[in-house]
Structures are given as C-alpha cells and as structure tokens.
Structure 1
Amino acid sequence: MASIAAATCNSALFFKSKDSGNNAASLFRYNRFKASKSQPVKTMAALTVSPPKRETDPKKRVVITGMGVVSVFGNDVNTFYEKLLEGQSGITLIDKFDASTFTVRFAGQIRNFSSAGYIDGKNDRRLDDCWRYCLVAGRKALDDANLGQPILDTIDRTKIGVLVGSGMGGLETFSNGVEALLQKGFKKITPFFIPYSITNMGSALLAIDRGLMGPSYSISTACATANYCFYAAANHIRRGEANIMVVGGTEAAINPTGVGGFIACRALSQRNDEPHKASRPWDQDRDGFVIGEGAGVLIMESLEHATKRGANIVAEYLGGAITCDAHHMTDPRKDGLGISSCITKCLDHAGVSPEEVNYVNCHATSTLAGDLAEVIAIKKIFKNTSEMKMNGTKSMIGHGLGAAGGLEAIACIKAITTGWLHPTVNQDNLEPEVDIDTVPNVKKQHEVNVAISNSFGFGGHNSVVAFAPYKP
C-alpha cells in the first residue's frame, strides 16, 4: 500500500518563495529526499527541418468515438461543457465530511451523484467513489460510442481494452481500513479493503462489467495520469493489440485524509470566504490549488474499425509524449525544460508543426511556480502566440488530480466540435509574464486547428497529448 500512501498531485511547487524557511518547505529538505542540483541536459534541439507527417494508415489513425464524464456539473458531457462555457464555478464548501475544523473547507465536490442504471445497489454501497465514478463515466462513454452490450456481444472483445488510471486510488476505502485496524483490530478490516484500494481496480471493474478482454491495467503518475493513459492506449491501437480502448482518469480524494494531507503540504488555497474565487490560474493573487474529483473517459478507436462499424467520429487523437523533469519531487524546473521537451516530442509524434497549434488546455493549477513554468515552456516552443489561445479548466472545477487530464481532454474535444473556448475565470490581476490570451472570464469563439492538453505530476512527470478535428 505504499504506492497509495505516496500518491501525489501536480508537479508545480506549491510553497511560496517567501516561505522557504518554514516547516512546510523543510518537509522536502530531509537528506533522503534532497534533490541534487540540476545537471545540464541534452535534448533534441528542435523539430526536424522537413515538414512533419501525420499518420495516414487507417489501422493506425486513432479517433475519438465516445466520451463520458462525472463532474461537479453532473454526468452529461454537453451539460459539463455548457457550464464551463458559462464560466460557472463548481467550487463550494465541503459537506462530504465535517471540515469545520480544517483550515481549508472547500473543494470541487460532486453532489447528488447517481449511479442508477449503471451499478447495482449491492455493489454501489461497497464501492469507493473513485470506482463508482469510473464505472459510470466508462459506461457513458461506451454508450456515447454506440457500444452498448448488444453491440459489444457482436464484436471481438479480446481487442477492446480498458486503461483508466488514478493518482490516489480508493483513498476512502484505504483510510477506513486503516481506521478499522487501529480502532478494532485486523479482524474488522473489510475483505474489500485491498481490492477497492489499489489503483488498477477501476479498469478491472469496468472490464469485468462489460466483458472487455483486451489490454486492461492502470497507470498512476499523479496528476499526469490520464494523459499517460491516452498515450499508452493509442499505442496499443497502433501496434494492433486493440481496436478499441476505454481510457481516461478517475479520482475521489475529497475526504479527511486527502484534504488533510494536502493541507499539511500547504498545497491548497485557503480562500474559505470566497471558494468560487480560489482557483485563479496565472493571477498574481493565487495562493494554491483547489482539490477536485470526478472522472473523464474517452473511447479511442482505430479509424479502420470505427469506419467499418459506422461509428460517429468526434475528433482525432494525433499523438502524445511523456517525459520526466529528473529534477525534484515537487518543484518544476524553472527553465521549463521538461515541459518544453515534452511538447516538442508530442508535436513530433503527432506530425504537427508548432505553427499548426492554436489552442492549449493548460495544466494551470493555480500554484505559484507551476503556472509560470508552464507558460515559459509554451513560449519556448511557440514563437508566435498572437493567434494562440490557452485556458485553465481547473479554474472552475478544481484540480481533479489523476482525473484532471480526462476531464480536460473532454473540454479540448468539445472546444473542437463547438468552436467555443471556455473562459479561465478569476483573471483579475494577470502575471505580467503571461502575454498569451488566457480567454479571461468570458468564453470566446475560436476555430481550433490543433489542440494540445498538458498534464504534469509530482515526481516531474510530464505528459502532453494532441487532438484535432477529424478529417477523412
């Protein structure tokens, strides 16, 4: 269970520089964790001179044929995006547990969640919310792709895989199990303690529920998780190991352990009097991120398979990349090198030139160092940003940790299909270094040519994926 206990969040250093001498900062200065000074790193200087080429083989082209969501704005993809376009904040005071004594008492908490029609009552009562969100979002994505059970029964399910990751896993189940052990002894630990705590169980349960026998596992790279899953799932399709992958991220860490742990790290905003204004990427008055929860799942499919079954194609996945800062447990490289190299590799993998990208859904957690490190990296790659737009979905729904990339991929794809970008709210006092259009406070119409979505995690895990309108 060490991996669960060590589960982490975004890779941006969340301590204020002026607090460098306090106890929280010293948490990461123990000798055993102390990072050595960054060594010079050799990276690919730039994309190749010849124009990049996109994949043309229909067996290897990866398209999106379905989406499913569980969010603070409900379980419907269209409603989710409509609320984002309205600039509505889903950040509220916590009532999932008694947080009255906590120094942070708000979150992007899901309310009135219903799994009716997707999970039977007996299992629903046993499951950790992390897996309930996964099952509902996954089933909804399958339904959206016209892959209900009658259709699944007619196709080769050994070529359908599931890859839904989580940064924290079944944290509520884990916390309750430890509490039972300490208070009542090991005989009172539920037999579901281990199965419903471990991070692979979302993929496993969804595969069992739908009889999907292809590649099924999970990836846990903190808040970079979902993008890692998209990257890996697409590669399964391109290698011919799967025709369809059910893929994304899920998280449910709004409980005393999750919130208390991030408070102890001084990771969270403390705007208890104005929760809806707490998540404010790139704003000079930001003071930390807001914890969120939910699930975002895509159906990724080979173009050949999607065409043969007459699927509705909503967008195309062009490519992705994953890198490591190799620098520090929590602190991003100030030069943004890990991020910029990840973007460069993503574009190369996708067959996209920097000039083709005109929208970035940013990681943008509302942390002091992380927000600027990301912008520095973006400006290294994209020399002319006059036509570029970037926004921060977390400004309205909070930071969904391992689910963040899944929720933001859906926002990217809806931007592509609707021609509208949601705003980044709480843009009142923008950092001077941020001279790219952040779509401040009000939605904007924008025809997306190529979109990239960034996600980064503790440990220096970087992930970038690229989506575009589908063109036969």
Structure 2
Amino acid sequence: MGERISNSRVVISGMGVVAPNGIGLSDFEKALRNGISGIEFIPRLAALNFGCQVGGIPPITQEHIDACFSPLQLRNFNSDGIIYGMIAAHEAWRNAGLEPEAESLDPDTGVIFGTGTSGIEKLNESIKLVDAQKVRRLGSNVVIQTMASGVSAFIAGHIAAGNQVSTNSSACTTGTEALLMGYRHIKAGYAKRMLVGATCEHGPYLWGGFDAMRVTNYRHNDKPEQASRPLSETAGGLVPGAGAGAFVLESLEAALERGAPIIAEVLGGQINSGGQRGGGTLTAPNPEAVKSCIKDSLVMSGIEGAQIDLINGHLTATVKDPDEVAAWAAALGRDKSNFPYLQATKSLVGHCLSGSGAVELVATTLQLQRGFVHPSINSEDLHPQIAKWVPREKIPQQAIDVQLDRAIKASFGFGDVNACVVLRRYNS
C-alpha cells in the first residue's frame, strides 16, 4: 500500500448496474428516463400459489455472463446473486477506465460488496443431494457459491484487489451501507480505491417469506407494470426484485493522478440503528433514528437541508411511505413551499432487497451526472398524507431535464438499521 492519504475527498469514477429494467448504464438510463418498468408476471410464482405473482428479474444474457466468468468457474454454477454482482462490478471497473484480470496484485484497491443471501437455488440442490446420500455429487464449487462472501471473493479475483475484501449484510440497507463503508475506508487513508456495491438474487425461496408476511402486492398480477406503487394512495405492498449496483470509489488525488473520469463526489453520510425501540421493531424503523440518520448525514457532509435538490427515498409501497416522507420533511427542514424533488426508483424496478440501495444509488448518481429526474410511475393518485408535504410537481410522472447539484439517498432495513448518503455533482 502506498503513502497514507488522510481526509481526502472521495469521488465516484465508475458505476455498473444490473436491474430488472436494464442491464448496463446505457439501458438503465433509457429505462429511467422513459419510465419503463422491469416488473413482469412470473409463471413459476403462480404455479407455486404465491399471492404476489409478479417481480423484477434482470434480463441478463449469456454474453453478459461470459464477459465475467471463465468456463471453469461456470461449471455447475447456479448463484444469480454472484452473477449479478460480477456483471455490475465488471462494468463499473471498465467504466472507471480500469482493466480487469490484471496480472499484478493491487494493494491500494479493496472490495466491500454486500448481499443478503447467496446461492439459495444452489443450496436447495445441495440439500437434496445430501439428503439422498449423494454428497460426492455436490461438486467442488458449492461452498464458494453459497457463502455470503462469495460475491466479494469473485470480484476481488477479477480485479486483483489486495486491500480489504469483505461482504456486508444489513438487509435493505446493505448497498447504501457498503458505499459508506468504502467511503470511510478511503477517507481514513486505508485504501486509494474501493469497489463497492451490493447484489440480490431472485426466486421463490427468497421471496416466499415476504409473500407469507403479506407485505407484497397481490392485486396487480394481471397488470404487473402497475404493481409497484410507492407514494400512491392505492399502494398494495412491495413488489420483489433482484439485481446489483457497483461503484468504483477513489480518493480525489488517486483519480486525478490517473486521469480517471469523475462522475460525482460522495460528501458524506451516516449509518445508525433504532435499536428496535421507540416504535422500531425487527421489521419497522424507529422514526427518530430515521430522522437522526438523515440529519447526521447532512452534518457529516457539511451542508444544510435546504441545499438538497433531490431525495431518492427508500419508499417501499407499504403503509410506511407517508411516515418516511414526514421524516424527510422534518429532518431536512422542508415543507410544501420548498420541498425538493422526491422519487421512488422502486416504482420501476421493484424492491431489490439487499441490492436495492446499490441499484437506487446508481439511479441517483446517473441523474446528478446527466441532469434529469426520473418519473415515479404509478403514483398518479398521490397519497393524501404525502401531498401535505410534497407538491405534485415535485414527484414527476414524466422525466424532466434539470441540473441537480446535491442529492440524498437513504435505505431503511429489517433489523431497524438505517443508512443515508449525500452525493454532489462533481466540481473540481
């Protein structure tokens, strides 16, 4: 590792995304601008008698996979979360002007890439083989596919990372937390560069628990594109999705030294927990902790709430959406007279669970970089409690072109855990 850098500015020099409505930055941006939903009817869920029979599955191709894995690695491979993470990481690395599969180890580059689960389908296959007393047929790559840190291990080998390599897991907060962990690692001078992000696989073994909790929308199985309805009075629950988002974070000095493209700057953020007190539970956030997380992220970023141009909310299309908007208003000190743009990326991709923060952070950063606000579809009937805080025009139904300087993104996860990050359009 080179000379330690203390308190450096941290910038984003590369991004990658695997989402239900687009693979890669170009397709994802087109989908965001045009309000294209990635939610589809899934026959397998109907056959299994799920209440919610729609979801978001990224439309990856074999070409995407072959660009990131060797034939040997793909032998008996069945872990979608790792595949999504690798595709997103590969794009981010290339997008940052860096080449994968380098020969020499890079001690100044690390990986923090999160997930909630790994290889559930593979694990199901393995359990059946073990129960049938056919353990020798498991193969040699079951462990790497089903261990949580499999995704960060694959990515580290792909980019020859020699600094910290680890996997975080904090439910829906995972992706936003991973970005902040990488940011802090660089800020403290422990690395010059971190590839961060999060992934989430799909399928009935993962989504079944949410269906059993009856927190998913079962009312739009015949109209899947209308199913994910954050901010709406007729929101019927979350729609499950899958995918991954990835970022290359660098100290500003390191990025400038190699002439890297600089997409945006990470100003700061905060990670906290509500401790499952004060109204917080295993499945619902403590409202005071949510507000503290947002307020502290502003303090850590050195800005005021009045300087925020765009909120990319957690906004899951449940009964908690109005409470979240009220928390944003209180924490930012904004009301209907001066509320910033507010959006729910989940309206387009569903709730990508552990990958949601990372996918939605890519959407947020793209809008800062490219100067637009994507629509929050299916919120024409804005919830009246939300309308008390936010003017209708601040939740666009069609994309609008507008220069944004600062955006704030938050994720609130099961376990009463929160993360919030502030981003700025890069100014030299």
Instruction: Name the structure 2 match of 1:120.
Output: 70
Query: One-letter code of the match for 2:87?
Result: V
1:213-252 matched pairs, under 5 angstroms: 213-252=162-201
Instruction: Name the structure 2 match of 1:408.
Output: 360
CA distance in 1 between partners of 2:44 and 2:194 (Å): 33
CA distance in 2 between partners of 1:338 and 1:409 (Å): 21
CA deviation after TM superposition for structure 1 residue 153, in Å:
5.4
Match of 1:64 among 12, 28, 51: 12
Do residues 325 (structure 1) and 274 (structure 2) align? yes
CA deviation after TM superposition for structure 1 residue 313, in Å:
0.5
1:386-438 Cα deviation digits (max 9, x unpaired): 25011000001111111111111111111111111001000132111213245
Do residues 211 (structure 1) and 156 (structure 2) align? no
**Identical amino acids, percent of aligned pairs:** 30
Match of 2:372 among 392, 396, 420: 420
User: Unaligned stretches of 5+ in structure 2?
Assistant: none
1:57-456 matched pairs, under 5 angstroms: 60-95=8-43, 99=47, 101-113=49-61, 114-125=64-75, 126-149=77-100, 157-184=106-133, 186-252=135-201, 254-270=202-218, 271-327=220-276, 328-333=281-286, 336-369=287-320, 371-385=321-335, 386-434=338-386, 435-437=389-391, 438-456=394-412
1:116-153 Cα deviation digits (max 9, x unpaired): 22212332341411111111111111000011148x55
Query: One-letter code of the match for 1:362?
Result: G
Query: One-letter code of the match for 2:66?
Result: A
CA distance in 2 between partners of 1:257 and 1:87 (Å): 29
Contact 2:13 2:262 in 1 (8 A): yes
Instruction: Name the structure 2 match of 1:7.
Output: none
Q: Residues 96 and 203 (structure 1 numbering): CA distance in 2 closer, same or farther, change over 3 Å?
A: farther
CA distance in 2 between partners of 1:97 and 1:131 (Å): 22
CA deviation after TM superposition for structure 1 residue 80, in Å:
0.1
Query: One-letter code of the match for 1:451?
Result: A
CA distance in 2 between partners of 1:138 and 1:124 (Å): 17
Contact 2:312 2:344 in 1 (8 A): yes
CA distance in 1 between partners of 2:195 and 2:67 (Å): 19
CA deviation after TM superposition for structure 1 residue 198, in Å:
1.7
Query: One-letter code of the match for 1:70?
Result: V
SS of equivalent residue, structure 1 residue 122: coil
CA distance in 2 between partners of 1:225 and 1:167 (Å): 8
CA distance in 1 between partners of 2:171 and 2:116 (Å): 4
CA distance in 2 between partners of 1:104 and 1:433 (Å): 26
**RMSD in angstroms over aligned alpha carbons?**
2.0
CA distance in 2 between partners of 1:260 and 1:183 (Å): 25
1:352-409 Cα deviation digits (max 9, x unpaired): 111111211000111112x122112101122234250110000011111111111111
Q: Residues 96 and 234 (structure 1 numbering): CA distance in 2 closer, same or farther, change over 3 Å?
A: farther
User: Unaligned stretches of 5+ in structure 1?
Assistant: 1-56
Do residues 459 (structure 1) and 415 (structure 2) align? yes
CA deviation after TM superposition for structure 1 residue 112, in Å:
4.1
CA deviation after TM superposition for structure 1 residue 183, in Å:
4.3
Q: Which moved more, 1:289-298 or 1:382-391?
A: 382-391
Contact 1:325 1:461 in 2 (8 A): yes
CA distance in 2 between partners of 1:431 and 1:104 (Å): 22
1:50-69 Cα deviation digits (max 9, x unpaired): xxxxxxx9961000000111
CA distance in 1 between partners of 2:315 and 2:325 (Å): 9
Instruction: Name the structure 2 match of 1:44.
Output: none
CA deviation after TM superposition for structure 1 residue 234, in Å:
0.8
Q: Which moved more, 1:376-385 or 1:281-290?
A: 376-385
Q: Residues 323 and 248 (structure 1 numbering): CA distance in 2 closer, same or farther, change over 3 Å?
A: same
Contact 2:22 2:31 in 1 (8 A): no
SS of equivalent residue, structure 1 residue 273: coil
Contact 2:8 2:252 in 1 (8 A): yes
SS of equivalent residue, structure 2 residue 143: coil
1:5-63 Cα deviation digits (max 9, x unpaired): xxxxxxxxxxxxxxxxxxxxxxxxxxxxxxxxxxxxxxxxxxxxxxxxxxxx9961000
Instruction: Name the structure 2 match of 1:470.
Output: 426
CA distance in 2 between partners of 1:332 and 1:400 (Å): 18
Instruction: Name the structure 2 match of 1:4.
Output: none
- TM, length-normalised to structure 1: 0.83
Contact 1:422 1:439 in 2 (8 A): no
CA deviation after TM superposition for structure 1 residue 449, in Å:
2.1
Q: Residues 436 and 123 (structure 1 numbering): CA distance in 2 closer, same or farther, change over 3 Å?
A: same
SS of equivalent residue, structure 1 residue 395: helix
CA deviation after TM superposition for structure 1 residue 96, in Å:
6.4
CA distance in 2 between partners of 1:317 and 1:282 (Å): 27
Query: One-letter code of the match for 2:256?
Result: T
- TM, length-normalised to structure 2: 0.91
Query: One-letter code of the match for 2:399?
Result: K
CA distance in 2 between partners of 1:465 and 1:384 (Å): 18
Instruction: Name the structure 2 match of 1:24.
Output: none
CA distance in 1 between partners of 2:60 and 2:114 (Å): 24
Instruction: Name the structure 2 match of 1:17.
Output: none
Query: One-letter code of the match for 2:365?
Result: I
Q: Which moved more, 1:94-103 or 1:191-200?
A: 94-103
Q: Residues 192 and 261 (structure 1 numbering): CA distance in 2 closer, same or farther, change over 3 Å?
A: farther
CA deviation after TM superposition for structure 1 residue 350, in Å:
1.1
Query: One-letter code of the match for 1:348?
Result: V
